[in-house]
Amino acid sequence: MIRIPALRFGKEYTSLDKAQLVHHVTGEPVAEVSQVTGSQIARDLGQMDRARQILSEIPMADILGMYKKAADYFANAKLPCGDTELDFDGYVRNLSATTGSPMVFCRRNALKVHYVLENIEEVIGGLTRGLDPEFFDKGFTTRGGRMQAFFPTTNVFGAVLPSNSPGVHSLWVPTIAFKMPLLLKPGREEPWTPFRVLQSFIKAGVPPQVLGFLPSDHSGANDILRLCGRSMAFGDDRTMAPYRNDHRVEIHGTGYSKIIFGEDKAPSWDRYLDMLVESIAANGGRACVNASAVWTPSHADAMAMGIAKRFAVMKPRPWDDPNCEISAFAKPEVAEAINNMVDEGLKTPGARDVTLEVRGTPRLVKEGRIAYLLPTVIRCDSPEHPLANKEFLFPYASVIECPQDDILHRMGYTLAGTVLSDDKAFVSSAMACSHVERLNVGPLPTNRLTWDQPHEGNLFTHLYKQRAFSQAAFNGSK
């Protein structure tokens, strides 16, 4: 069993209180993770002015070089992991073991983290919209003959992380490039990726005094969000409700992402079936950018049936099978609760489970100590049905028929929306739609992202604020 310590900004810390992680299939212990208390978090945060100063004195060119090295170490090196060392394959295997996400998903998403490390200049160029990296050394720069200056909004960035997919860690990886100390509270079942990234940074030369890995309970997570000047957090609408209006916290929650057909493309919906399936089911359907609804002016019944037929052949496979298409729930009670929510929604007239009609078997599958939820398509007769605007931690989508002129007004908040139409007026309306965060026009799956265009918040504008700045030379010595 691996014993993973906390990293308290330059000091490894092993606590008496530890969280034990077990293999989702066998129940065998995999790791023990040291836990820190709220008072320890507060004490460490009191040292952040010094940590920020350490980072500010490192030239930006050196930091960018460290990222390149860290990328290589992350994907290719044996790195410390508590009382052992793990190569990349060992990291992926442990990650899959404790989260229930298949190894093929874990590897694919971990490579997204590697991409951001390897291509950090491209990423920060997108986040800053082309700001010269020299700004981070001087606090100002010029572009097009105009002065640009920014100041930091905090002396540390905190991240309260989830356990569902290593791909989300790409969002906080640029923090050190922005010369900001980093405090990570890992998800309970997923300490592996944040710990490995931090070890890659340390091996590449990033001072450990600017890196915190502080596993904790829910109260510790609240302390991080309360005490850090800027932070990000992941969770559903209920969990994130207390921070909805807190400008210090960047929330990554329920996405309600959608595929939106125009009148001109709905009749040829079958040409886009592969894109529909990928948008809904990629990565086990657990990302906020997975589509959870398809809105169309016509052909909704045929679309729902076409998707359902593709979903009906997706079956549970062993966690190390390279052909896995769905994820296990390491806690069967979570799968049962979600399944009950869908079934309860189906009691309201006006919706039917089309996948159940095609597959002929229930969506909830139990195997030993784990459970699966099979991909599900619900055909809703009305946008008002309780299941028309829902999102769950498995491949799920509702299909709703609605007049084209009403879709954008009725579909609600959309993190990632793909519009399929050549109707210029309809596309223009989508471009002007204020409740769509990321907009794709054309056959682009909702889950396909570009790292230089953030789909939910912008880390740079979260950590820095623009200021007016002028500088004049002095005449004489006084």
3-35 pLDDT tens trace: 999 999 999 999 999 999 999 999 999 999 999
Question: Residue 435: which of 212, 257, 308 has the closest Cα?
Answer: 257
Phi then psi for residue 326, to 5 deg, are: -135, 155
pLDDT band, residue 287 (cuts 50/70/90):
confident
Question: Residue 230: which of 118, 153, 117 has the closest Cα?
Answer: 153
pLDDT band, residue 238 (cuts 50/70/90):
confident
- pLDDT tens, 316-375? 999 999 999 999 998 899 999 999 999 999 999 999 999 999 999 999 999 999 999 999
Q: How far apart are the first and last CA of the chain?
A: 66
Q: Residues 58-63: what's their mean pLDDT?
A: 96
pLDDT at 307: 98
Measure Cα distances from 328 to 112, 169, 368, 391 in Å: 21, 21, 11, 17
Identity at 357, one-letter amino acid code: E
pLDDT band, residue 472 (cuts 50/70/90):
confident
Q: Which residues pair with 246 in a beta bridge?
A: none
Q: Could you give the CA distance from residue 248 to residue 159 in angstroms, rounded to a whole number?
A: 12
Q: Could you give the CA distance from residue 381 to residue 349 in angstroms, rounded to a whole number?
A: 9
Could you tell me if 446 and 290 are in contact, meaning their C-beta atoms sit under 8 angstroms apart?
yes
Per-residue pLDDT for 478 more than 60? no
Query: How distant is the alpha carbon of residue 379 from its chain centre?
Result: 28
Task: List the domain boundaries for the chain.
Answer: 2-253, 257-441
Q: Could you give the CA distance from residue 85 to residue 79 in angstroms, rounded to a whole number?
A: 5
pLDDT at 142: 82
Per-residue pLDDT for 477 more than 60? no
CATH superfamily of 2-253: Aldehyde Dehydrogenase; Chain A, domain 1 (3.40.605.10)
Measure Cα distances from 234 to 159, 248, 288, 385 in Å: 9, 14, 10, 27
Could you tell me if 259 and 411 are in contact, meaning their C-beta atoms sit under 8 angstroms apart?
no
Kindly report the average pLDDT of the chain as a whole number: 94
Q: Residues 449-470: what's their mean pLDDT?
A: 81
Per-residue pLDDT for 267 more than 60? yes
Question: Residue 165: which of 197, 198, 189, 184 has the closest Cα?
Answer: 189
pLDDT at 453: 67
Could you tell me if 85 and 241 are in contact, meaning their C-beta atoms sit under 8 angstroms apart?
no
pLDDT band, residue 140 (cuts 50/70/90):
confident
**Token output for 311:** 């979903």
Phi then psi for residue 352, to 5 deg, are: -145, 145
Please report, rounded to a whole number, the percentage of residues in the chain having pLDDT higher than 70.
Answer: 98
Per-residue pLDDT for 439 more than 70? yes
Q: Which helix (H) or strand (E) holds 204?
A: helix 192-204
Q: Which CATH number fits domain 257-441: 1.10.167.10, 3.10.310.50, 3.40.309.10, 3.90.470.20?
A: 3.40.309.10
pLDDT band, residue 473 (cuts 50/70/90):
confident
Q: Could you give the CA distance from residue 478 to residue 461 in angstroms, rounded to a whole number?
A: 37
pLDDT band, residue 476 (cuts 50/70/90):
low
Q: Residues 229-247: what's their mean pLDDT?
A: 89
Could you tell me if 170 and 113 are in contact, meaning their C-beta atoms sit under 8 angstroms apart?
yes
Across 33-47, 213-227, 233-247, 281-295, least confident range: 233-247
Across 18-22, 130-134, 224-228, 472-476, least confident range: 472-476
DSSP label of 165 = -
